[in-house]
């Protein structure tokens, strides 16, 4: 059973459901945004904790998406090159200040919202392809929070062959209410 808990809003419920799956003799894997808070959550032994960021290779993502490559060139690499040519010794300090005060703000406030809106977000596609191509097949995908729903949709679209069932909790799996 694969639990998508990227938002971590139902952490306690996911832990209890994983305990129940393991007690029933099944296997579970939990995909999260950050593994740090989940390490203390009390997941039972044998439950795989998967960091969603590990499933997405940022360098490969930037190489394959032209808008990201252009943004890196125009906002970061170009100004850094010019500053190093003009200022020489002081360039490292000035370039760091430029990136922190101008380039990073532009990236977070303007580029990323626009990119998510027009490109549909870049994280879900590679993550879904990695999970869909995993060696172990999943009979059920439990979407533990609303933030994980787009990833679940992309995962189902990416999977070939027979698709697993989707549920919001394992109560729906046991009763067969989810499809």
Give residue-wise pLDDT tens across range 153-167. 877 877 777 788 888
Cα gap 96→103, rounded to integer Å: 10
Q: Are residues 28 and 64 in the same domain?
A: no
Q: What is the CA radius of gyration of the chain?
A: 21
> Are 52 and 133 contained in the same domain?
yes
Q: What is the pLDDT of residue 37?
A: 81
Domain boundary among 102, 119, 136: 119
How many domains in the chain?
A: 2
Same domain, 147 and 66: no
Query: Please, are residues 57 and 126 in contact by the beta-carbon 8 Å criterion?
Result: yes
Q: In angstroms, rounded to a whole number, what is the distance separating the alpha carbons of residues 50 and 59? A: 19
32 and 81 part of one domain: no
Q: Count CB-CB contacts under 10 A for residue 14.
A: 26
One domain for residues 12 and 92: no
Do 52 and 75 fall within a single domain? no
Give the residue from 74, 92, 119 where a domain finishes: 119
Question: Which letter, b or e, does each residue of 141-154 get, where b requires 16 or more Cβ atoms within 10 Å of its Cβ?
Answer: bbbbbeebebbbeb
Tell whether 103 and 25 lie within a shared domain: no
User: Do 65 and 37 share a domain, yes or no?
Assistant: no
Read off the pLDDT of residues 93-146 as tens digits, 9 standing for 90 and up. Answer: 999 999 999 999 998 899 888 876 776 554 555 666 666 655 556 788 899 888
Query: Taking 70 as the threshold, does the pLDDT of residue 66 lie above it?
Result: yes
Check residue 179 and give its pLDDT: 42
**Has this prediction a pTM greater than 0.75?**
no
Same domain, 29 and 112: no
Residues 127 and 157 in one domain: yes
Same domain, 66 and 108: yes
Give the domain extent around 16.
2-56+123-175
The last residue of one of the domains, among 73, 104, 119, is 119
Q: Give the tens place of pLDDT for each residue, 133-151.
A: 555 567 888 998 888 888 7
* Helices 149-158 and 124-132, packing angle to 10 deg: 50
Q: Are residues 66 and 151 in the same domain?
A: no
**What's the mean per-residue pLDDT of the chain?**
80
């Amino acid at each position: 059973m694969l639990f998508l808990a990227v938002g971590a809003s139902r952490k306690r419920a996911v832990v209890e459901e994983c305990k129940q799956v393991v007690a029933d003799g099944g296997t579970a894997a939990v995909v999260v945004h950050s593994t740090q808070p989940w390490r203390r959550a009390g997941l039972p032994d044998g439950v795989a904790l998967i960091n969603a960021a590990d499933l997405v290779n940022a360098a490969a993502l930037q190489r394959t998406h032209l808008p990201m490559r252009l943004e890196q060139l125009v906002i970061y690499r170009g100004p850094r090159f010019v500053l190093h040519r003009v200022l020489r010794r002081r360039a490292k300090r000035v370039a760091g200040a430029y990136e922190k005060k101008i380039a990073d703000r532009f990236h977070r406030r303007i580029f990323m919202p626009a990119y998510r809106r027009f490109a549909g977000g870049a994280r879900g596609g590679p993550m879904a392809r990695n999970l869909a191509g995993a060696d172990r097949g999943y009979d059920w995908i439990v979407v533990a929070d609303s933030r994980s729903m787009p990833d679940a949709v992309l995962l189902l679209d990416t999977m070939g062959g027979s698709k697993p069932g989707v549920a919001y909790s394992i109560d729906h799996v046991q009763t067969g209410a989810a499809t």
